[in-house]
Structure 1
């Protein structure tokens, strides 16, 4: 019982210290959140941008580079998840031939998208403190790969165009891939914002 009491006392003490001494981290977090909101307002899908990045405010702080890096990482994670989701759909019994082909193509496109986003994340990390031509070269690679990843995602969506494939499989795949494409579009915008400030 004494151990529980001292643990409770310790927890309350820590809460007290955090709430009083920690006024500045709360303010910093609020500044970081406002920073993300303001940067996201210039993207194509501002609400989705903020919703997907707000949780990372403590690590983003007010760094345009960290914001771009996080946006790319979120895009990569969602692309990987969507690729796995589409791969599961391929195992559905009773798929129409066209559905199967569209799913197979989509898995391939999403594989390319994951690969390109992964390269982008690594390239942005590798940039370090690059300046001048070096910086432009690294950023150009990131821009090219993220743009190509977005094209891959849209190509997957195009494979499900037309009414012939209407149904639950099409709508669930489209919803997932559309979300990835929108997050990727936002990431590209944030990368370009970061580049324009250099």
Structure 2
């Protein structure tokens, strides 16, 4: 009888050990916040940019998937807002041609729209605890995708070969930086949404 009890206890302990090990693997290869960010950034189109822009917020993100997505959106909004401010300054520069001025003005409006959509997305992500999580996440996915489209549309106005090269390069650099971060944010939002659908 005693031998049977000991055997059952041994099997129970072994089961607990195996369950703990499986749970650890399911959570990811490393509980370190930096490693968590690096691992998550593999799902993005620009992983190096993702790691570079998010690791400084590791103390805020920790290992929280939702906070990771919110932080990525906030960084995207900040960079897009900075680009929009640059466009606003460029519209006041003297000496640029009417075609260039029009392209810069259109670009500014696109970037402003992008900022608004990203701001909406950050707010909506913060309301997921209030319920209707999947509906809210669908809203966020739609808005971030639209924000990315706005950013890409911004560059369309500079496709004309007669555009000033320096102006085009300066604007392109800022918009591309913002669009890469926004693309990454969308990937992390999609990743978070998929984990809600299939926990």
TM-score of the superposed pair, with normalisation by structure 1: 0.82
Spell out the pairing of 1:60-139 with structure 2 (5 A cutoff).
60-128=61-129, 130=131, 134-139=132-137
Whether the 8 Å contact between 2:31 and 2:63 is mirrored in structure 1 is no
Cα distance in 2, alignment partners of residues 162 and 32 from structure 1: 45
SS in 2 for 1:191: helix
Deviation of the 1:167 alpha carbon: 1.7
Deviation of the 1:30 alpha carbon: 7.6
Whether the 8 Å contact between 2:91 and 2:105 is mirrored in structure 1 is yes
Instruction: Report what 2:180 is aligned to.
Output: 182
1:52 matched to 2:53? The reply is yes
Where in structure 1 do 4 or more consecutive aligned residues deviate above 4 Å?
A: none
Cα-to-partner distance string for 1:133-187 (whole Å, 9 max, x where unaligned): x111000000010000000000001111132114211111110011101100000
Cα distance in 2, alignment partners of residues 168 and 30 from structure 1: 46
Cα distance in 2, alignment partners of residues 114 and 54 from structure 1: 22
Cα-to-partner distance string for 1:122-141 (whole Å, 9 max, x where unaligned): 000011263xxx11100000
Provide the alpha-carbon RMSD of the alignment.
1.3
* 1:156 corresponds to which of 151, 154, 157: 154
Cα distance in 1, alignment partners of residues 110 and 71 from structure 2: 23
SS in 1 for 2:162: helix
Larger Rg: 2
The alignment covers a number of residue pairs equal to 167
Cα distance in 2, alignment partners of residues 30 and 63 from structure 1: 11
Cα-to-partner distance string for 1:85-110 (whole Å, 9 max, x where unaligned): 11101111110111101001001101
